[in-house]
């Protein structure tokens, strides 16, 4: 099978390429990536795949040729950082909505299998003190320009399935953690702050709850859906990893030999979602998928180890990211 991985130089896409090369050696992997600030070729393996530097939001013949040559598309490419979407929403509209539209049109024209990777943030948030979880029937209620652009892309996929019979599936996953995540994101930012001798900063009370899943578990679910699911199916991916942001920061501080209280609170992000929680029963019962990282603390230790051992991968991006945050007064 020739599988196109869009956004394959980003966090989840690059880990997908590593996993697929290891677990599906008979696949040919073709990476498409624009290499935005979030894309990094050093996240990819040294060899074993094809790479095309392309913008999915721009119609062009090379993109069409690559799509024409494949059997399936796994669509990760997106602008993905909420903070950036609040500052500057346009790239999110362009990559997440127009980019998805262009890929859908190419998949339709050339009759390709399409898997759309999305987020649980399309559902908005849950009350902090409830035990509710998102399911496949939860109504969409996005909070930020990022989550609304992803919601819009999901709607496009649903319409292309219904109107054109496109052989497509959708998955909405909770917050991922693991190696090769950009240092602007919560867990790597906190790890690298501590490694560089600074105090982690927590938005607001720090009591917001995220449902963490190891990136390899997200990707093993995507492989399962790609191979086993029928057209039009829609799955939530999660691994029961609910933690408050404060709990995560305390765990990181402790693991890195600091006092658990060595952090500061900063002003909350506008529209910050309170709680996310995923019910992945459908994926588990219909496709038999199970997460491999059931122990969040062990996954976090592995992630810390990766950042400790791969400083050359993150230190340039760290400098740029922190300068940008400083300029914006974050």
Ligand X SMILES: NC(=O)c1ccc[n+]([C@@H]2O[C@H](COP(=O)([O-])OP(=O)(O)OC[C@H]3O[C@@H](n4cnc5c(N)ncnc54)[C@H](O)[C@@H]3O)[C@@H](O)[C@H]2O)c1
CA–CA distances in Å: residue 291 to residues 116, 154, 235, 237, 284: 20, 24, 14, 9, 9
Q: How far is the CB of 207 from ligand X (least distance, A)?
A: 19
The least distance separating ligand X from the CB of residue 62, rounded to whole angstroms, comes to 12
- Enter the tokens of residue 66: 């690559």
Which residue's CB is nearer to ligand X, number 120 or number 322?
Answer: 120
**In the complex, minimum distance from the CB of residue 321 to ligand X, in angstroms, rounded to a whole number:** 12
**Beta carbon nearer to ligand X, 80 or 144:** 80
Question: Nearer to ligand X by C-beta: 81 or 113?
Answer: 81
List the catalytic residue out of 33, 49, 125, 146: 146
Identified catalytic residue from 33, 55, 121, 167: 121
Q: Is 120 a catalytic site residue?
A: yes
Distance CA 102, CA 75 (A): 12
Burial 288-309 (b: 16+ CB within 10 A, else e): ebebebeebeebbeebbebbee
Distance, C-alpha 282 to centroid of its chain: 20
Task: Check: CB of residue 86 under 8 Å from CB of residue 270.
Answer: yes
> CB of 13: closest distance to ligand X in angstroms?
5
Q: Would you tell me how many other CB atoms lie within 10 Å of the CB of residue 126?
A: 20
DSSP 204: T
User: Which is nearer to ligand X, 12 or 157 (by Cβ)?
Assistant: 12
162 alpha carbon, distance to own chain's centre: 26
**Can you give the C-alpha Rg of the chain in angstroms?**
19
Q: Which is nearer to ligand X, 122 or 166 (CB)?
A: 122
Partners of 115 in the β-ladder: 74, 169
If the CB atoms of residues 14 and 194 are measured against ligand X, the closer one turns out to be 14
Query: If we measure between CA atoms, which residue out of 77, 58, 66, 61 comes closest to residue 8?
Result: 77
Q: At closest approach, how far in Å is the CB of 197 from ligand X?
A: 26
Task: Give the residue with the Cβ less far from ligand X, 93 or 262.
Answer: 93
Does 242 participate in catalysis according to the annotation? Answer: no
| Catalytic residue (one of 120, 154, 167, 322) | 120
d(CA 76, CA 8) in angstroms, rounded, equals 7
Whole-angstrom distance, CA of residue 160 vs CA of residue 168 = 8
Binding site for ligand X (CB under 6 A): 6-7, 9-13, 33-36, 38-39, 55-57, 76-80, 95, 99, 117-119, 150, 173, 175-176, 182
Residue 184 CB neighbours (<10 A): 20
CB-closest chain residue to ligand X: 10
Helix 99-110 / helix 145-164 crossing angle, nearest 10 deg? 20
Q: How far is the CB of 185 from ligand X (least distance, A)?
A: 7
| Smallest separation, CB 179 to ligand X (Å) | 12
Which segments of the chain are extended strands (E)? Answer: 2-6, 28-33, 49-53, 72-75, 113-119, 168-173, 176-177, 201-203, 209-211, 213-214, 234-237, 242-244, 264-266
Q: Is 146 a catalytic residue?
A: yes
d(CA 324, CA 318): 10
Active site residues: 120-121, 146
């Amino acid at each position: 099978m020739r599988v196109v991985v869009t956004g394959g130089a980003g966090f989840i896409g690059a880990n997908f390429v590593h996993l697929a090369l290891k677990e599906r050696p008979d696949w040919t992997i073709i990476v498409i990536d624009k290499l935005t600030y979030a894309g990094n070729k050093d996240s990819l393996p040294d060899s074993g795949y094809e790479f095309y530097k392309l913008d999915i939001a721009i119609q062009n013949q090379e993109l069409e040729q690559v799509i024409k040559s494949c059997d399936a598309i796994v669509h990760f490419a997106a602008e993905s950082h909420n903070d950036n979407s609040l500052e500057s929403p346009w790239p999110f509209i362009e990559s997440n909505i127009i980019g998805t539209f262009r890929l859908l049109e190419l998949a339709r024209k050339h009759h390709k299998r399409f898997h759309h990777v999305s987020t649980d943030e399309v559902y908005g948030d849950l009350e902090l003190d409830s035990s509710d979880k998102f399911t496949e029937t939860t109504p969409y209620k996005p909070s930020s320009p990022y989550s609304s652009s992803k919601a819009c892309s999901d709607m496009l996929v649903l319409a292309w399935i219904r109107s054109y019979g496109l052989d497509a599936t959708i998955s909405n996953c909770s917050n991922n953690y693991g190696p090769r995540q950009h240092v602007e994101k919560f867990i790597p930012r906190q790890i690298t702050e501590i490694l560089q001798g600074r105090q982690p900063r927590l938005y607001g009370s720090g009591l917001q709850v995220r449902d963490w899943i190891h990136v390899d578990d997200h990707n093993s679910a995507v492989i399962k859906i790609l191979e086993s699911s029928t057209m039009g199916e829609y799955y939530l991916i999660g691994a029961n990893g609910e933690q408050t942001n404060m709990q995560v920061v305390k765990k990181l501080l402790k693991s890195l030999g600091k006092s658990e209280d060595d952090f500061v609170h900063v002003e909350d992000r506008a529209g910050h979602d309170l709680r996310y929680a995923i019910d992945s029963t459908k994926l588990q019962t219909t496709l038999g998928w199970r997460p491999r990282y059931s122990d969040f603390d062990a996954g976090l230790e592995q992630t810390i180890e990766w950042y400790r051992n791969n400083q050359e991968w993150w230190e340039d991006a760290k400098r740029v990211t922190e300068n940008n945050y400083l300029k914006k007064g974050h």
